[in-house]
Structure 1
Amino acid sequence: MELRDYLRILRRRWMLVLSSTLIVVAVAAVYTFTVTPMYQSTAKLFISSSADGGETVSGAFQGAQFSQQQVTSYADFVKDADLAAVVIKDLGLSMTPGGLKEHVTATVTPNTVIIALQAQDASPARAQAIAQGYAVALADQIRTVETPVGETEPLVRPSVNSDATLPTTPVSPQPVRNLGLALVLGLLLGVGLAVARELLDTTVKSVDDVRETTDAPLLGAIGFDSQIRSQPLVTSLSSHAPRAEAFRVLRTNLQFVDIDATTKVFVVTSALPGEGKTTTSVNLAITLAQAGQKTLLIECDLRRPKAAVALEVDNSVGVTTVLLGKVSFDDALQEHTGTGLAVLASGAVPPNPAELLQSRAMADLLEHAKDRFDTIIIDAPPLLPVTDAALLASQADGAIVVAAHGRTTREQLAQAGERLQQVDAAQVGVVLNMTPARRGQGYGYGYGYGYGYGYAPSDTSEAKASTRRRSRGTQASE
């Protein structure tokens, strides 16, 4: 991954990074301001040998060298439980030797004969007493160990070089250090989680995702609208509404698909249900009709028809009744009020939708429709669960596949394209639906007229050239 990829991830997942950082800092703050403060006191022992004051310089040097060699061993005495027991007895502490040892450490200053004893406790006075008590007890133990049998003088002379001090400020916790480390750790954790989630997230979210998944171009992006359930049609929106503008952009891009055809037939489908293909097909058809094109919307989702309900037209007569010969094509047509859009509803739900859609009667219906309309939009079922959309696409100029932003996976979009290839149907393009209305996604724009969201391909000339290179019957880009 390049630097720009990481920056893109941070822009997309900044909430995850921020929340992770805040959680880690909050945990560190709770720990820092609730843990019992600990105070540390230090006492120092100076170790000298009996030869340090010898008559010759060489004797003094040998004595100092001997003390340096032994001083590390003396520091290890601090770990002995017997020494801790002596300190507990002398100070009258209500602690166990094991518990006391955990609060005392001994360090040797390099190239010296000084042992520093540090004692930590919640009480400053007790920390001072423990450090001083350990220094005295350790000096006594060293004298005992270093006194040869039968002798009264030890080989070394330990002495308390620096008495234990009374601490005034706690050594732990350290708020600045703890919160600083928590901030760094939280940022690293947040970035790591963001990158991991991005790598594990296989949903389609950008133009690059579409390009990496299919050869079909991105024809448009429809922004997410929380009011879509109450206002599914663009006719209920302001003419400058972002969703209305997005469908006008989609309408414009469709003009470059198969530009030599006098009549265009497009199947609008999706990989799976719930990705907005019916809303897209209905609003696309309305937008085409508003532009003055003779447009027909055919509801061919004979399993779960919803287009007629959205347009508020009668669904009792439609595709199935025409295919069965009960009603003529012209009599089954309805007009959507206010837009001039011709609508052929689904009719009664049949038990065998796939057989009806690949029948000769359906082919005749489409041929008859081509004679009367400039553009025909067919609302079809999803591609992956059933074969209906693929069968219809093979009889049309191609299919427009609707993919839901952050919901449709790249694998599902690729499989949808493969379904179309299996029946030699062209994939006209992809429409990215439910896109978030924020900048930095690669498909938003603004030009000072109040349009908050829309889409235009990043390389329109490339899209035009691509569609011109593709002929009817071959796979087209979306």
Structure 2
Amino acid sequence: MKETISLKELFQILRKRFWLIILITVIVSTASAVVSYFILTPVYESKTQLLVNQAKSEQQLYDSTEIQTNIQLINTYNVIIKSPVILEKVKDGLKLNKTVEDLNNQIKVSSATNSQVVEITVQDTSKKIANQIANETAKVFQEEIVKIMNIDNVSILSKDEVVANAAPVKPKPLINIGLGVLIGLILGVGLSLLMEYLDNTLKTEQDIENILDLPVIGVVTNIKDVPKPTNVSRPDVAARVTQRGETYGS
């Protein structure tokens, strides 16, 4: 194959090995579906929200300076929530057969910019366990932050509830199958181009003109062997043979 190919030549290469591209695509997408549905363990997600805000009486007005202070404290709270001080109590409270490091990896703490709401997200292979960890973490943090920082400005905004027919957040079979089709197409096209590049044989007159840059002035065709006749049934030949036999015999 030449160093550079035209769009037409590329199309011809892909058309010639179209079966290979389809075969690889089917194999990869099927493997992706099998892994997604039968091998990977479903993972469920639970979320709990905390509100960082000092309780106010009816006579008090909201102070913008205090709100800004609460927002700045959230970064500190995000770290404390995943600290061993909190997670050890969560582990003991739920009697989990997990390490603190395992819990840390399961929990994600986030907050929107300039927001006083902290969101605790937990992922686990059990929807019930994920729900318990999320709610227990929020509860323990609300209780312990008073002792740790001597500040009582955290309240639980929403708890997660267990839904019977909750769908797992991963794996996502349809997305995985779509990625499998895309990867299969890329692999198929790449392998087709590689095979064409490594193929140095000349198959047609066009290949000779393209590679040698010489015109083709003649072609030797492949002549098949013609079988010899076994029986001669022409009457004139048979008659001459008979006449010659009679002459020689006389």
Task: Please report the TM-score for the alignment, with normalisation by the length of structure 1.
Answer: 0.42
Offset, 1:71: 1.3
Distance 1:2 1:118 in 2: 52
Offset, 1:93: 0.8
Offset, 1:162: 0.5
Q: 1:99 aligns with which of 98, 102, 112?
A: 102
Residue identity opposite 2:216 in structure 1: P
1:110 aligns with 2:113: yes
- Structure 1 pair 90–205 and aligned structure 2 pair: CA distance change class (3 A): farther
1:166 aligns with 2:179: no
What CA deviation, in whole Å up to 9, does each residue of 1:288-346 have, x standing for no partner? xxxxxxxxxxxxxxxxxxxxxxxxxxxxxxxxxxxxxxxxxxxxxxxxx56xxxxxxxx
Residue identity opposite 1:106 in structure 2: V
- Structure 1 pair 158–207 and aligned structure 2 pair: CA distance change class (3 A): farther
Distance 2:98 2:225 in 1: 78
> Aligned pair count?
221
Aligned pairs for 1:165-314 within 5 A = 165-167=161-163, 168-214=166-212, 215-217=214-216, 219-220=218-219, 233-235=224-226
Distance 2:59 2:175 in 1: 49
Residue identity opposite 2:30 in structure 1: A
- Determine the structure 1 residue equivalent to 2:36: 32
Offset, 1:211: 1.0
For the Cα contact (< 8 Å) 1:50–1:63, is it kept in 2?
no
Aligned pairs for 1:45-444 within 5 A = 45-49=50-54, 55=60, 60-147=63-150, 154=151, 157-167=153-163, 168-214=166-212, 215-217=214-216, 219-220=218-219, 233-235=224-226, 337=228
- Determine the structure 1 residue equivalent to 2:13: 9
- Determine the structure 1 residue equivalent to 2:48: 43
- Structure 1 pair 52–2 and aligned structure 2 pair: CA distance change class (3 A): farther
Offset, 1:114: 1.1
Aligned partner of residue 7 in structure 1, secondary structure: helix
What CA deviation, in whole Å up to 9, does each residue of 1:23-71 have, x standing for no partner? 22122112101212111111111111478989455xx111111122221
- Structure 1 pair 63–208 and aligned structure 2 pair: CA distance change class (3 A): farther
Gaps of at least 5 residues in structure 1 are 148-153, 224-231, 237-336, 339-478
Distance 1:86 1:212 in 2: 76
Aligned partner of residue 50 in structure 2, secondary structure: strand
Aligned partner of residue 53 in structure 2, secondary structure: strand
What is the CA RMSD across the aligned residues, in angstroms?
2.8
For the Cα contact (< 8 Å) 1:210–1:217, is it kept in 2?
yes
Query: Higher strand proportion, which one?
Result: 1
Distance 1:189 1:106 in 2: 39
Percent pairwise identity: 25
Higher relative contact order (Cα pairs below 8 Å, separated by 6+ residues): 2
Residue identity opposite 2:7 in structure 1: L
Distance 1:9 1:171 in 2: 41
Task: Please report the TM-score for the alignment, with normalisation by the length of structure 2.
Answer: 0.77
Aligned partner of residue 153 in structure 2, secondary structure: strand
Distance 1:128 1:115 in 2: 16
- Structure 1 pair 80–15 and aligned structure 2 pair: CA distance change class (3 A): farther
Query: Higher helix proportion, which one?
Result: 2
